[in-house]
Amino acid sequence: MKFIVTSGPTRSYLDEIRYISNYSTGALGTLVAKQAAARGHKVIQISGKGSIAASGKSIKNIEIETIEELLAVLRKELKKNRKRPVAVIHAMAVLDFIAPKKIKGKVRSDRKSWTVRLVRSPKVIKEIKKMAPRVKLAGFKLEYKAGKKALLNSAKKLLEASAADYVVANDFSGIKAGKHTAMIVGKSGFIKGNISGKERIAAELLKTIEGVKC
């Protein structure tokens, strides 16, 4: 199987120098890419600029910065691989809000203030099945200090909105505290919970996509 793994942050440029981004390092997506390659799959890792990326003979790396670049790469790779089984693991932390337009040049630093207006960004996970309806799609849902019930409900909503096959739901408060735990939710409901540690989360997700009993 060919795996396309997205990981790391995205950027939205305010001017030619400054941009907004997010916290993501790409660590979990990189573990997924490494483990998928170790399990005999071909992997394309699309990673946010400056984040961690996997390496190896079975791994092709593509670095992007913006959401527009991410969508363009996904379209190209999904079209190129349309005749073979493909799984997309969309672990990239895509910005929810972006600057509507990049200002040319540099905004002067002697200004007393600079008001920045942000707009909703395209929801990339909702576009993937439109590009390639037959792909197996796994998305990620990140909440902050949400209980298990709220986390499960968020995952179900994302499954329905994106037509994904699986969603990995996790809480940033645990990640920040160094206790990364997650649950995997599928179309039929809850699959597995209390998965602790990035290595195990990656392994359980891959087994789920491959159809191996967890």
Q: Tell me, what DSSP letter sits at residue 95?
A: -
H/E stretch holding 161? helix 148-162
pLDDT tens digit sequence for 122-147: 999 999 999 999 999 999 998 877 67
Strand bridging mode 181-186 / 166-171: antiparallel
Longest CA pairwise span in the chain (Å): 60
Residue with tokens 């993937």: 128
pTM for this entry? 0.91
Structural domain containing residue 188 = 2-210
pLDDT tens digit sequence for 196-213: 889 999 999 999 999 855
- How many domains, the chain? 1
Q: 84, 91 in Cβ contact below 8 A?
A: no
pLDDT tens digit sequence for 142-182: 887 767 888 888 899 999 999 999 999 987 766 655 677 88
The structure tokens listed for 148 are 């298990």
Residues contacting residue 121 through CB under 8 Å, at least 6 positions apart:
12, 67, 94, 95, 96, 97, 98
> What Rg value do the Cα atoms of the chain yield, rounded?
18
Q: Which of 50, 61, 51 is nearest to 28 (CA)?
A: 51
Query: Is residue 141 left, alpha or beta, with left meaning phi > 0 and alpha meaning psi from -120 to 50?
Result: beta
Q: What is the CATH number of the domain that holds 52?
A: 3.40.50.10300
